[in-house]
Structure 1
């Protein structure tokens, strides 16, 4: 019996069969690839942010090279993994206005927060302002913090409303040995500011305040989250008083400490509006405590570095290591005898410049350095852009993502630092220009004068340089809000 299907029909049938089988194979392969693809291939993981603030930290770190005897292995390790901004400047060389500016994105000249006494929300401009954590929370992040991120770790100036979860700081640094009539550092009482003091304590490292903050932060990195997080850790030291456990003082021999190079004729060409030499300097010199002050500051930095290490080690061991941005910064710089002063609150390099490291997995080149001038005010828009959330149109800083992508990007925006009403400093790669409320000026060429010893402002040949800077000065300077002044002992 002959088949009812002829050869032509059979050929057509086979073609259809082959096409059908090919489609089945394609669908099967596609399905397998989809099932076997990694989460990263399916959807890029959102960035988290680990935000570490170290109070009163100047460039006396290993990675910044500010002092040859410092010991900061943990911060140095982070610097090798991210970008060091060598020319980073604060918005204000004082804790409260610096942090208010950084966390809100508004300059001191806009908010009127110039000193340490005011609460951030005292400013009409900042009363309803969305801080960085509030902005991130609004756009889908879980935000939490412990330690000094705003001006204080606890209390009204901590701005606890900024966080989805705020955690109270606890602990101290141990006890010091007191001698009647003298400060702990051996200077007679009354000859230096009451908080310009230092000395080893009997405290156990694992029971101290900053360690407990670091340990809390480390513990948060072991938790599971159903949304990206913004996690902040505030380290209080090396803020005065320099009271840290004995073990950290033991690493630095007082008699071997190298003190900064100091020019006691430095004020010969400095205008009268500038800050004056300070009694702390003369007391330390009179009682031969300059090396002891260096020892105490380096001991406090080493203590802070150990605490930072607790956090960074926890991140490295966590499942968030590959998708967490790390930002580590000092809130401003610090004088240790330069300009015949200790402390901060000036517009010179020592007070305005501070460490800044940013590590962005998959973006920043490990171990790179950037010499372009940047400002802590830039962190708000930068982190917003990195994390893919809208920019806050009220931010007065600039996103430095282009510099994170390529440290050699052309960047000619001077960095502005303000201390008080109409008192400003602008820093470029080469110059620092300072202008006071009465119009008096200072100008320093950092290519040849990194210590800022020679004021060029009165030399007519530099008028064009000053004119270029002048256009970056704030056009409007808001009067100080109530209580916003620079306290004597700050």
Structure 2
């Protein structure tokens, strides 16, 4: 697999947009920006699955700040990544789904890697950073594409190689994520005369869950624990929410074919495979000359359901689809073993990195810098997190509540202090009317109509 070099005229002109030059700002830090795909809270620091094996993510968590209540701006790959990399909400851009190219409707947006390039950084991307179908050539002076991973000769479970899981008889070295991570490992072994922004994007645990046998072996079927669910969980969910869950689709297939334990096994195996690759990357940084001045940002693009609310995949406004792994390490600033319970959003990454690296502030960014929380994880914070899935559908998450309002006006309300699995919808109880009004103040004021769509077959 060859490294692709792409330099555009627009990229070359970007520095002229900013008044402060690199020489004036003197950035202090390098940035290692690590994205994982479809990873929910089933990792050690987030305690979502007892017995998960994620020693490398656990090690990073002990080193930096773990944000226990971090959420995506959209529960799908394309809108989540487009929003966090441009700093623009889905409801502002109209990019809500995976089949909507984001660049045509955000032609003037300066992406996070573009901004670092404009301010004198050496920038490289490898793997899945933007959604695969809509990677942005203008964002990457140097980019290494996602290599294809081995697959079984025939899809073992579902007859097609997407919603599927199986061990594959290959080595880690044969997998695409291993090759992507190797780009980062090699990068740390080289001399860099300028501060750098290195983005590494892993595909697993995105479907299909094809990873080497040794990762499946760590989770025998006899040990698998299914998610905590309750019967008729969708009974108090409005039709707009039931339509999103599609209980007669994936969940019906899983239960009728007795695949629930095997699917959970495949997901766990894929998480541990990803953790192993992340470990190689972080070890290489730790051994390099850049260890003491490199920020590490680790995040998942959205969550994932494995049968909760009779739903599978992302594409929903409930907790499991929208909560994300999010860990930040800043040398000399973040304290070891720090945990923040404040509600933050992936939109906050862009303004946070700009502030940490002394780059000029960008007023159009719609997130909030979390630098105060990196200094003091328990600092006062008045920003509920908003997740959007489709035109006019939003969830507002405070530290106690999740409030969902669909575009037809129907609602859900969950008390996370007493109902963390979101089993009981309180939205129709007048006792909580004032709380709903308070949460509704955080709903986006702009709801742009859907951006144009294209045929796009992958998640």
Question: Above 0.5 in TM-score?
Answer: yes
**Does the Cα contact within 8 Å between 1:435 and 1:441 map onto a contact in 2?**
yes
Match of 1:482 among 424, 435, 452: 452
Query: Are 1:393 and 2:369 an aligned pair?
Result: no
Aligned counterpart, 2:15: none
Instruction: Provide, for residues 170-221 of structure 1, a one-character-per-residue CA deviation record: whole Å limited to 9, x for no partner.
Output: 242x24153xxxx412x5x4xxx86211101122111210001111111101
* 1:245 CA drift (Å): 1.2
Give the 3-state SS of the residue equivalent to 1:86 in structure 2: strand
- Structure 1 consecutive aligned stretches of length 4 or more whose deviation exceeds 3 Å: 487-490
Cα distance between partner residues in 2 of 1:263 and 1:421 = 29
Distance 1:194 1:479, change over 3 A: farther
The answer (yes or no) to whether the contact 2:298–2:327 under 8 Å persists in 1 is yes
CA distance in 2, matches of 1:254, 1:176: 20
Q: CA deviation at 1:376?
A: 0.1
Show the counterpart of 1:128.
Answer: 108
Q: CA deviation at 1:84?
A: 0.5
Residue of 234, 247, 250 corresponding to 2:217: 250
Q: Secondary structure at the match of 1:322?
A: helix
2:73 aligned with 1:91: yes
- Out of 48, 53, 58, the position equivalent to 1:66 is 48
**What is the TM-score normalised by the length of structure 1?**
0.86
* Cα-Cα RMSD: 1.7
Cα distance between partner residues in 2 of 1:404 and 1:335 = 29
Which sections of structure 2, spanning at least 5 residues, go unmatched?
1-24
**C-alpha contact 2:101 2:452 (8 A) present in aligned 1:** no
Residue 391 of structure 1 deviates from its aligned partner by: 1.4
Specify the SS of the correspondent of 1:119.
Answer: coil
Q: How much does 1:489 deviate? A: 7.2
Q: Could you tell me how far apart the structure 2 residues matched to 1:278 and 1:249 are?
A: 28
Q: How many angstroms apart in 2 are the aligned matches of 1:340 and 1:432?
A: 19
Please give the alpha-carbon distance, in whole angstroms, between the structure 2 residues aligned to 1:144 and 1:303.
24
The equivalent residue for 1:39 is none
CA offset digits 1:2-41 (Å, max 9, x no partner): xxxxxxxxxxxxxxxxxxxxxxxxxxxxxxxxxxxxxxxx
CA distance in 2, matches of 1:479, 1:249: 43
Structure 2 distance, partners of 1:488, 1:290, is 25
Q: Secondary structure at the match of 1:371?
A: strand
The alpha carbon displacement at 1:315 in A equals 0.4
- For 1:207, the equivalent position in structure 2 comes to 174
TM alignment of 1:158-173, pairs within 5 A: 158-172=135-149
* Residue 201 (structure 2) aligns with: 234
Q: Distance in 1 between matches of 2:392 and 2:427?
A: 18
Paired residue for 2:419, among 449, 454, 460? 449
Inter-CA distance 488–438: structure 2 relative to 1 (3 Å threshold): farther
Deviation at 1:262, TM superposition (A): 1.2
**2:295–2:330 contact (8 Å) kept in structure 1:** yes
TM-score (norm. length: structure 2): 0.91
1:351 to 315, 321, 343: 321
Take 1:334 and 1:167, find their aligned partners in 2: how far apart are those partners? 27
> C-alpha deviations, 1:288-339, integer Å up to 9, x for none?
1111011000000011001101110000000110100000000000000101
Aligned to 1:101: 83
